[in-house]
Structure 1
Amino acid sequence: PKYVEARAVREQQFSRLATISSTSSSLKKAKGLGVGGDAKYESASFGFDTGFQDDYATMVDNDASYVEVKSQVHSYDLTIQPQAPLSQHAHARLMVAICALEQGKEDVARAAMFSFFDDYGITYISRVSIGYYAQLREMVSNEIFKTHTSNDVKAGANIGFASIFDVEASYTNGQKKSNDYEKHVRSSRAEAVGCGIWHPSSGSDDQPSMTFDEWLETCDTGNALLGQDLLPISALISPMHFPDIAAKENGVDILHR
């Protein structure tokens, strides 16, 4: 639309997003078992499985840990420009209240505004954030913890997440951390809103790896509403939208009442 500005987000912030599950209790916590918030988040936002027994057995059998990165990926913002004109109907409804104030009929003005609020609400959306929800889940050999700290492992997973979902992020010593981490990855799967499960690498024959292009073919859309900014409806009653009233004596005061 003419008065909507789109602005891409150039760099994502991925700090401390990764979680490591290397014991029974840590795996339960990561999956949200007994922790209502995490369980709700996974089922509502992603629909990931919670096959705890299978995952724990896999960790034990392979002397491995699970590393997960879950995040919102903020792609762009849509912002309504301040000079965007009001619709003809909304402008006319607000004029009823403004004219009543000019004539000193405050009760009429108040009734007109309450009627306006009933139809339009008391706020309007000035900006929305668009992107998608995504998760990377990888099984890594426990050998990595002999030479690297858990923070190094998490950093490597975060870098891999940024690479897989093609988003820009900055890290200190990022390439080395990523290379060291990738050497210890046994299997990997990624998932995003609107897409199926992606296995960029796999440790089993019955679960072949997929190319990025093959995975993209499963995606209907990656877009999701991540957030929004609200402004009070009263912000629309301004000299910009009612210049004729503002030009009158005491007009600005009337608009600000």
Structure 2
Amino acid sequence: MIRLAANLSMMFTEYPFMDRFAAAADAGFRGVEYLFPYEYSASDIAEALAANGLEQVLFNLPPGDWDAGERGVACLPGRETEFREGVETALRYAEKLECRQLHMMAGIAPPRTDPARVEMTYLSNLHYAAAQAEARGIKILIEPINPTDMPGYFLRSAGYAHELIQRVQAVTGDNGARNIAIQLDLYHRQMLEGRLAVAIDEYLGESAHIQIAGVPGRHEPDADGEVNWDWVLGTLDRLGYDGWIGCEYRPRGRTDAGIVWANPWLASMESRS
């Protein structure tokens, strides 16, 4: 069954953040995600979720100084203490919000830094985050992001994400780090290398969350673009994907005016719930 989650950092921005939960529920969504909750009280968000019958599907670990252009600190040598503090903060929020998945943003590799050191920093931090989250029954997700939207981002492809997960699991052994998964954003995949059918075939089994947006423009994933999103969603449904699909797109206008593409899937979700 296709389960669509509204991304409240990009959708329903006509409303203040705390009002977007009700707007998403009114549109038929039963799950939500967003970038970061840390400006708001976890208790207030939990109340908004409960009042609107919503599940908190995903959010990101603290990203460092977002306004200064940082996009995560996991790959940044010398920021390990800050990273670990961020893991603890995110886990506290996740427990309060009953959220079982957290996205660990990799960060933008520092210039003139040894690439091997950057990679080892990332692997060490991924290992740490997974161990802390596993004790709380939470998954750590890693997401490849295309260089057009985020130049210099460390994690560049699903293949590289797969390799890094395997390397952490090889160190921890058969029973360790099994709570790391890929966050397969099909918008970023299309922007980077296309071949969405190949990506679904190769990485669906180790993907715990999927995100979509129209290409080009990162608008509604509808017919006005280069991807047949009905085919993509139908394929995921046919293959038995049972995770959430985050709608991480910027509406062309008001969110509710452009939501028509999702209505058949939302109605199907409602009828089968």
Q: TM (normalized to structure 1)?
A: 0.21
TM-score (norm. length: structure 2): 0.20
Bigger radius of gyration: 1
More strand by share: 1
